[in-house]
Structure 1
Amino acid sequence: MKIITAVVILGCLLVVELEGQARFPKGRCFCADKGVNMVPSKLIEKVEIIPPSPSCKTQEIVVTLKNSRQKCLNPESKFIQKYIMKVVEKRSLQKK
């Protein structure tokens, strides 16, 4: 009886461990293409910069818009580079 109980508890622990793991496919990028070159600043709620990794060789910039949609941005776009510089400058001024 003790062995059956131990096996059931072990099984439950394995299920809990498997449920908690991230389900991102390996070797895939979030963005399918380079992304758009511009998004109006007033529509942007959050910006995520995802650096290159073993699973995705390219840098990705993903914005969450105020309507909760996400868009990939072209990291080589002049608009995006200027926008990121403005955000960095704004943050550095706030920290002083």
Structure 2
Amino acid sequence: MLAALAALLALPVAAQVARLDDSASPRAEVQADFGHATPVDGHTVRVPFGRVEYRLATMPYVGKRARIYYVVPPQIPGLTTPGGLTVQWRASGR
């Protein structure tokens, strides 16, 4: 019985999934920077966009281990290949 209890305690805890509140994020439209566009080939141009800022309410998770997943919509107007989207994550926290 003690071995069964030890085995039970060794199992990973089921992950809880929660959608983070992002209502504090600015909703301004991000403009393309055509002044810094660079041609890739005869049919493709790389156009940088401004910074997109998300503000996530993470206070309930402070001091806890967590993973944050960014879900990209399956269709993005103007994006023809998945390689055309680059996402970098930088936390401004501690």
Given the two structures, how large is their TM-score scaled by the length of structure 1? Answer: 0.29
Larger fraction in strand: 1
Larger fraction in helix: 1
